[in-house]
Amino acid sequence: MFRNSKGIFLIIILVIVGLGIILTPKITIGSFERGEKNSPLGLKLGLDLEGGTHLVYKFMPQEDQSFTSEDVEGVRKIVEKRVNEFGVSEPNVQLLGSNPPDRLLVQLPGQKGLNLTLSFNGNTVQTSTIENFFRDKIGISSTTVSQNEDTSYTVNLEDVDEDLLTGDTTSINPETIQLWQKQLSEKFPVVIHFSYINPDLIEDKSPSETESKSNDAEPTDYKFPTIDEVKHVFDSFELEKAEIEMLQGAEGTFSAVIYGLRYDGQISQVQDIKQSLRELGNLQFFFHEGDITQWTVGGGIQEAKRLIGSTAMLEFKYRECGDLNNVDPDIPWPPDGIPQAAWEFERCNNPTYYNETATEIDASDLVDAYPDISQNLNKPIVQLVFNDGGGEAFYEVTDRIAREDDRLAVYLDGDELVAPYASTGIAGGRAFIEGPGFTSDTTRTIAIQLRSGALPLGLELTQERNVDALLGEDSLRRSLVAGSIGMVILLVFMVSYYRIPGVVSALALFSYAIILLSIFKILPVVLTLSGAAAVILSLGFAVDANVLIAERTKEELRAGRGLLAAINTGFDRAWPSIRDGNLSTIIVASVLFWFGDRFGTSIMQGFALTLVIGVMLSMFTAFFASRVFLRAIASTPVGKKTGLFMPVSDEIENSGRS
Amino acid sequence: MDFIGKRIYFLTVSMVLSVIAVVILFVPGLNLGIDFASGTSITYKFEGGDPGLSSIRNALEKSGHGNAVIQKSGTDEYFVRTTDLGDTGKDVIDEKLREIQDVKLITLATTSVGKSVADDTVKNAVIAVSVAVLFVMLYIMYAFRSVPESYKYAVAAILALVHDIVIVLGIFTILGIVVGSEVNSIFIVGILTTIGYSVNDTIVIFDRVRENVSLAPNRAFRANVNISINESITRSLGTSVTTLTVILAILLFGGVSLRDFLYVLLSGVIVGTYSSIFIAAQILVAWDSRGIFFWRRKI
């Protein structure tokens, strides 16, 4: 009995924990995150159940070269890897056509709605404020906003009205973007503080003079811009509203709160305003915050798509930074009044101050690039491997960089990826890049982007459409309801035919379902249609195990054993067949899993994995849960009525015989 | 009940059905879906009015594609699947479709699938299933090592499994003709499920045989098998009926899109249950008493 109560306790705990896992929409423990938004019970759904993006690419050989089946298989592998690395769940990357295949099919599941990446200068906006803005002002009810590490915000918008989208329904049309940006800037003000300085004061101030002297100096008759002049400047920008104040007692110092600043996709109007303000006088100080600095529509799928299709013109450029120290004593250095401390950054990061020239390193020289963790630094890094020729060129470039304190700028399709420096010339063709802001996510992305330079064939997107879920939401729901009806009929049958063992089976099956779903959520297992079929099959096995046990127990009772003995013997007798049947199934499933990656789709593996988990668990519940429950009931007063432990037909038979 | 005495009938019926199934698998063959057949599928949009299914079928017949699959996929969108169109085939179809009525014809998508994908899938499936079968045979031989000649159990279980797969394929071929069921990825899952079910069901009966043979080694083998069948038939039928209840419920009340998959499951469960009782166990007896060429001898 003691063992029994412990067993029941364990199962109850498992079921409660399982229920908790299933019913909690999103589980977050540190970096451990599980649970999907807006999917039933937070389970991950595959493309066939959830729908997703369906892309077809055409292989584009360079300069009319022919390509072989091996080439395209190479491309397929690269693309598959890229997509996998990007964290798109259960993608399908398949070759189409024959001898050699000429197209590539990529199916990316999930990703409902659109992702908008937003940044504001100064990072002063609350995520909830943005969420409320999209919900109330724009009218998109299912909006979720999260802040990224680089202080940008990711806004996920669902059920965006189709009118607002472009034809392929994956991006917002330009008019909508303009409208949203307008509304956003009307809601979120940009604050600018700026001040002018009397140029005479600067000239007067020479190093030889003491500070007190310059303070005592008579103010010259410099005329600061008036508030009206400043207002006039702002008026010329046709803003929604601009509140401009001059700071009390500080002539030439203003603050402006402006609404309706436009953002043209590259540079916000703030720079134009600055330029115009400069024309009024000697602008000394200009500070602005709250203006949009980034606005990209896209997200997981868009991002992955960009990576897949990027034909990836990878360029290694030599970046000759601005001189660190003054070369010509007649020119004030650093230039443009930049403080010495900031200059060290600016000289290599501001395009105004550096020059770039091509290097001997060719994109095709890069053999591999992969994310790694540095053993010494314990930081995420990107490992690079060059071929012999590339290795030599790389040594020459890094050697010069190290000597002259310059940079190696790496560009992908014209966008700067990284611009690392080198402390010494790196020989041997192997190197790594580290950076202060590198996370394992950034190194992974950079590695993918670097590797894409090695893509042997170009890819051109020829077809893109959003796939509806294979079943359709309605069909899926109806099937689930029907399945539940079937389950209820089954349980009614089990209870009315097998009676107490039937009730126990029902309890065991309930525990089984709860624990199985929670395992799926925790691992997580992507639920596809084939996975669902495996669940049904394993559920069938779980029922079967209970039927076997009930039948065996019945036989033992009929043979005249006492109830507890009959239950124990019944279980022992049923065990070999449950074990052998289930193990055979596990063998089949394992082989299918093993072979699964030979198939173009993930069907086999999804089915096999789900089946293995389901069958193992069904063995556990049938044998552990059912036994514990049955023995517990047998030890209560109900146990006195042995007939309740036998099927209906048998009781009649028995009473007939006696 | 004496199941063993009537085994000649069961085995004969199954042999005949299997032969028929194999024959219709070659001619006319399974109705292959776009995933598995080579061909072209086009999604058309008729802007300005729905021409109706029959006029589209007419147009396709005129362009020489009478066997094309046409599905309505939206208010004015149609999905058309044909045999490989080559370079000019689509232009011919487009022309005929434009003749229907004054609507603007837009091609939303064209996909052509080569035969190699289908061939590879079939080849890989056969290899995977064969390896799986081999391992299951080894396992059964090991699990049944307590009874003499355990390899016979392994072979009998696998023969029953092959029988199930063949019959289900045959049934699906007929369904393909009658209600247009198509072989697609879900179909493969259905076959996999059938394999799992069939093996499990056979093993449950063999387990009884193993037990009875161990308990009464001196009783005639056929008697032991017959007792085992009688003892486990309630369970076999019980499990089948409960499983079928769930499948039927989904088939009757669930969404249409799962229909083909459920047909496979339905026939798989029925055939799997039948074969475990009437084929697998009977092969054991026949082999034991008459050698492997059991159908030649008189009982």
Q: Which of A298, A325, A349 is the last residue in one of the domains?
A: A298
- Give chain B positions within 8 Å (CB) of A502: none
Instruction: Give the pLDDT confidence of B269-292 residue by residue, as tens digits.
Output: 999 999 999 999 999 888 887 654
Same domain (yes/no): B24, B87: no
Same domain (yes/no): A505, A653: yes
Q: For residue B108, what are the domain limits?
A: 39-113
Q: Which of B79, B113, B147 is the last residue in one of the domains?
A: B113
Same domain (yes/no): A76, A157: no
Query: A542 CB near a chain B CB, below 8 Å?
Result: no
Same domain (yes/no): B84, B221: no
The alpha-helical segments, DSSP class H, found in chain B are: 7-24, 53-62, 89-100, 115-143, 150-178, 185-215, 221-253, 259-275, 281-290
Could you give the CA distance from residue A470 to residue A451 in angstroms, rounded to a whole number? 34
Same domain (yes/no): A99, A156: no
Angle between helical axes of A563-595 and B185-215 (0-180°, round to 10)? 140
Same domain (yes/no): B172, B99: no
Question: A117 near A293, Cβ under 8 Å?
Answer: no
Tokens 């020239």, residue?
Answer: A357
What separation, in Å, do the N-terminal and C-terminal C-alpha atoms of chain A show? 33
Instruction: Give the pLDDT confidence of A41-74 residue by residue, as tens digits.
Output: 677 666 666 666 667 788 877 666 677 776 677 6
Same domain (yes/no): A586, A637: yes
Question: A25 near A42, Cβ under 8 Å?
Answer: yes
- Residue A247 DSSP symbol: P
- Give chain B positions within 8 Å (CB) of A57: none
Q: Which of A63, A90, A111 is the last residue in one of the domains?
A: A111
Query: B111 CB near a chain A CB, below 8 Å?
Result: yes
* Residue-level pLDDT at A211: 43
Instruction: Give the pLDDT confidence of A556-605 residue by residue, as tens digits.
Output: 888 888 888 888 998 998 999 899 989 988 998 888 888 765 654 556 77
Could you give the CA distance from residue B138 to residue B144 in angstroms, rounded to a whole number? 10
Number of domains in chain B: 2
* Residue-level pLDDT at A453: 59
Same domain (yes/no): B92, B240: no
Say if A46 falls within a structural domain. Answer: no
Give me the residue from B128, B189, B250 closest to A591, CB to CB: B128
Smallest Cα distance from B235 to chain A, Å: 6
Question: B61 near B70, Cβ under 8 Å?
Answer: no
Query: A492 CB near a chain B CB, below 8 Å?
Result: no
Could you give the CA distance from residue B299 to residue B295 in angstroms, rounded to a whole number? 9
Here the CATH number for the domain that contains residue A556 is 1.20.1640.10
Same domain (yes/no): B28, B69: no
Q: Searching chain B, which residue's CA lies closest to the CA of residue A547? A: B235
Cβ contacts of residue B229 below 8 Å, gap of 6+?
B1, B3, B4, B205, B208, B277, B281
* Residue-level pLDDT at A621: 87
Say if A537 falls within a structural domain. Answer: yes
Report yes or no on whether pTM surpasses 0.90: no
Same domain (yes/no): A525, A631: yes
Q: How confident is the model at residue A204 (pLDDT cuts 50, 70, 90)?
A: very low
Same domain (yes/no): A636, A523: yes
* Residue-level pLDDT at A253: 86
Which of B262 and B121 is assigned the larger pLDDT?
B262
> Chain centroid to CA A33: how far?
11
Here the CATH number for the domain that contains residue A380 is 3.30.1360
Q: What's the token pair of residue A457?
A: 């064939």
Same domain (yes/no): B12, B109: no
Tokens 């036998």, residue?
Answer: A646
Question: B84 near B3, Cβ under 8 Å?
Answer: no
Percent of chain A scored above 70 by pLDDT?
73
Q: For residue A490, what are the domain limits?
A: 2-41+470-657
* Residue-level pLDDT at A68: 72
Question: A499 near A648, Cβ under 8 Å?
Answer: yes
User: What is the CB neighbour count within 10 angstroms for residue A123?
Assistant: 14
Say if B2 falls within a structural domain. Answer: no
Q: Which ipTM value was assigned to this complex?
A: 0.75
Query: A8 CB near a chain B CB, below 8 Å?
Result: no
Same domain (yes/no): A135, A278: yes
Mutate one of B200, B214, B230, B235 to test the A interface: name it (highest A CB count within 10 A). Answer: B200
Same domain (yes/no): B74, B138: no
> Do A595 and B128 make contact, defined as CB atoms within 8 angstroms?
yes
Quick one: average pLDDT of A291-303? 64
Residue A635 has pLDDT above 50, yes or no: yes
Q: What's the token pair of residue B77?
A: 């969108």
Same domain (yes/no): B106, B180: no
Q: What's the token pair of residue A87?
A: 């964290």
Same domain (yes/no): A96, A188: no
* Residue-level pLDDT at B90: 78
Could you give the CA distance from residue A559 to residue A179 in angstroms, rounded to a whole number? 82
Instruction: Give the pLDDT confidence of A263-291 residue by residue, as tens digits.
Output: 765 556 777 888 888 888 777 778 888 88
The alpha-helical segments, DSSP class H, found in A93-154 are: 127-132
Which range is most confident: A301-305, A323-327, B52-56, B241-245? Answer: B241-245
Instruction: Give the pLDDT confidence of B110-119 residue by residue, as tens digits.
Output: 766 555 555 6
Q: How confident is the model at residue A416 (pLDDT cuts 50, 70, 90)?
A: confident
- Give chain B positions within 8 Å (CB) of A559: none
Give me the residue from A482, A591, A599 closest to B253, CB to CB: A482
Q: Which of A250, A274, A298 is the last residue in one of the domains?
A: A298
Residue A522 has pLDDT above 80, yes or no: yes
Say if B192 falls within a structural domain. Answer: yes
Here the CATH number for the domain that contains residue B271 is 1.20.1640.10
Same domain (yes/no): B101, B185: no
Instruction: Give the pLDDT confidence of A341-380 residue by residue, as tens digits.
Output: 778 777 888 777 888 888 888 877 888 788 888 877 778 8
Say if B1 falls within a structural domain. Answer: no
Question: A602 near A596, Cβ under 8 Å?
Answer: yes
Quick one: average pLDDT of B145-172? 92
Same domain (yes/no): A11, A73: no
Same domain (yes/no): A530, A585: yes
The mean predicted confidence, pLDDT, of chain B is 81
Same domain (yes/no): A406, A536: no
Instruction: Give the pLDDT confidence of A129-147 residue by residue, as tens digits.
Output: 888 888 887 777 767 776 6
- Contact residues, B window 221-280, toward A, CB-based 8 Å cutoff: 231-232, 234-235, 238-239, 241-243, 245-250, 252-258, 261, 265
Number of domains in chain A: 4
Residue B18 has pLDDT above 90, yes or no: yes
Same domain (yes/no): B214, B123: yes
Identity (one letter) of the amino acid at A287? F
Q: What's the token pair of residue A630?
A: 């049955």
If DSSP codes are grouped into helix, strand and coil, which group holds residue A597?
helix
Quick one: average pLDDT of B145-174? 92
Query: A466 CB near a chain B CB, below 8 Å?
Result: no
Same domain (yes/no): B122, B109: no
Same domain (yes/no): B246, B273: yes
Say if A306 falls within a structural domain. Answer: no
Q: Which of B113, B139, B157 is the last residue in one of the domains?
A: B113
Smallest Cα distance from A98 to chain B, Å: 5
* Residue-level pLDDT at B271: 95
Here the CATH number for the domain that contains residue B67 is 3.30.70.3400
Q: What's the token pair of residue A622?
A: 């049938």
